[in-house]
Amino acid sequence: MQRRAFIKNTALSAVALSAYGFIQFDGSNYVGDCETTTDILGPYYRPDSPVKNNLALKNEPGNPIELSGIIRHKDCKTPYQKAKIELWHCDAKGVYDNSSAEFRYRGTTYSDENGNYAFNTIFPVAYDAGGGHVRPAHFHLMITAEGYQPLVTQLYFTGDVHIKKDRYASSPKIEGPHFKCSKNEQRHTKSSVQCEYG
């Protein structure tokens, strides 16, 4: 299904910092379009990830990061309670856990009464996908909510030099806007990424 048709039929959508100007900072919040494009599920999705929002692992390398957002109904205003949010990404060496019982860097959480959710994890890294192709750093998300088709997307980071050469992150055949989240540096080596899902 093409991305624009998927968005029309689902109405679950993302608002993130955009490299193309769809999102603007109003002085206190990022505001803009209430749609995102879907992205590939990818070969590393594992169903049944455990309900946990702290994906950080002790004694493992990686820069800590909090990914948080808001799930909203198709009106882009009303919070959606109890939406299921699945997150997965590679480790600090660019490797996905595809088989362990630990489900490393994979987790599921649910939005609260205000649509909020958050994950504590590490910042994903770019990795060699084979054949000279390097995938940019990204988070995978699947959002499932009653009354809507599931939304599968990936969040990329503005300034990643690998985006331009990535066939999924930069394809001219992709319809609709292509959003990327920016990393906001904070003191004490903690980073924060804020994205909204509508």
Question: What CATH number has the domain bearing residue 50?
Answer: 2.60.130.10
Domain count within the chain = 1
pTM of the model: 0.74
Band the pLDDT of 170: cuts 50, 70, 90.
Answer: low
Cα torsion for 11, 5, 169, 141, to the nearest 10°?
40
Q: Which residue has the higher pLDDT, 129 or 181?
A: 129
**What is the domain range of residue 152?**
3-197
Q: Pairing mode, if any, of strands 64-70 and 191-194?
A: parallel
Instruction: Summarize pLDDT for 9-62 with one digit per residue, the tens.
Output: 333 333 333 222 234 446 655 444 566 567 778 889 999 999 999 999 999 999
